[in-house]
Amino acid sequence: MHRHERWGLVLAGGLLGLGLMMGYSTLQPGSPRLTQDDIDKAVLHTLNNKPLPSLAAKAYEKIRPSVVRVRGLSVPNAEGRQREIGTGTGVVIVDEGLILTNLHVVMGAPRLQVVFDDGHVAEADMVAAQPENDLAVIKPRTLPDDLIPATLRSTSDLAPGDQVVAVGFPFGIGPTATAGVVSGLGREFRSPEGERILTNLIQFDAAANPGSSGGPLVTQDGEVVGIVTAILNPTEHRVFVGIGFAVPIENAAAAVGLSPF
């Protein structure tokens, strides 16, 4: 067989193989095009098998590092032991460690102690007070390494029905998150002793109890709009009946000479 004939056979074989491959590819079905229905089903499958955290859970996680437990302690006895005479909540609002809480939480306590989210414990001093709003500012003597202040948000666009979360230490348990809605604005509240009337309060229905006082009331974005200050108690029992009150953050910020907005 001549060389030219051999090359001709090789070329013909190559062309035949290419033709077979092209024909096979033509016979195979193409990749299906994704439709909107396919995408919706995939998203629904993901949500059913890996649900997203609730908005309240996200708000809690954002504010939690800024929430502290505030303890009022007695003078040490002969053995150096201290007795807890009051407990409440506070929220860090500036990098230097200033903490907002309620005046009734710290008033009358010979010594104050703050427990941070990471477990750091520090003695604290009251550095400012705003009795007309039941607010106090305390400053810890030492701070944790990674202190995260809360983000404050104006109440100018807050409206009844808006979702809110209260975070604190009710009965010393916590941090505890409860969720609800803003029930009203511009409310008044008279203390059980009748000594003081608090005005321009945010009314909310997220559960609050003794120990929640001084804690932050936050939006679904985890931004502070108020400081929990009181619960309505129509009976002698100190339990939550669905009506709580918070001081708007504008008033609270004024207690430390800040204009947060």
Buried/exposed 44-61: b ≥16 CB within 10 Å, e otherwise: eeeeeeeeeeeebeebbe
Of the residues 66, 117, 134, 205, only one is catalytic, namely 134
- Rounded to whole angstroms, the Cα distance separating 149 from 76 reads 31
25 is catalytic: no
Of the residues 66, 104, 183, 205, only one is catalytic, namely 104
212 and 228 Cβ atoms separated by less than 8 Å: yes
Closest to 101 in 3D by CA, of 117, 84, 114, 119? 114
134 is catalytic: yes
Helical ranges in the chain per DSSP H: 3-27, 36-49, 55-63, 103-106, 249-254
Q: By CB neighbour count within 10 A (0-12 exposed, 13-18 middle, 19+ buried), where does 25 fall?
A: exposed
213 is catalytic: yes
Of the residues 66, 183, 212, 213, only one is catalytic, namely 213
Residues with a catalytic annotation lie at 104, 134, 213
